[in-house]
Amino acid sequence: MSLKLRVAIEEKRINKYISVDEYQAIQKGDIEAIKNVIARFALDENGEYYPVTEKETEFGTDYFASEKPIKIIGKMNFEDLMSLKDSFFGGVKENAVPPTNASDSDGQSTQD
């Protein structure tokens, strides 16, 4: 039996549900970060996003994916996971928009 996981990448969801720390962790190959972030974009059998739980912390909001897509991703073999990761983050790069409040080294806001 082959496990199937559908994901949908939307700019609004990218900007909300992927932190800088998580993005860096994923670039370093952190499997837990890969699973948790991709699972936040997973669709259920009705084509709706699985729920994401939010938890307020001292430094902002942390987001936690639903258990079912995390379990599906966890059962993938490493080759399939890396393929999913590459495909997913290719889509993220295509859909992500730099924040308008990004600052350059002089502290000035920039937007290209």
Q: Model confidence over 42-99: pLDDT tens digits? A: 999 999 999 999 999 999 999 999 999 999 999 999 898 888 888 888 877 777 655 5
Enclosing domain of residue 33: 6-95
Domain count, the chain: 1
Q: Is 102 within the bounds of a domain?
A: no
Residue 1 lies in a domain: no
Tell me the whole-structure pTM to 2 decimals: 0.76
Domain-embedded: residue 111: no
For 13-46, the pLDDT digits (tens) are 988 999 999 989 988 989 999 999 999 999 999 9
89-104: burial string, b at 16+ Cβ within 10 Å, e else: bebbeeeeeeeeeeee
Q: Is residue 9 classed as helix, strand or coil in its secondary structure?
A: coil
Q: What are phi and psi of 78, to 5 degrees?
A: -60, -40
| In-domain check, residue 52 | yes
Complete DSSP assignment for 58-86? TTEEEEEE-HHHHHHHHTS-HHHHHHHHH
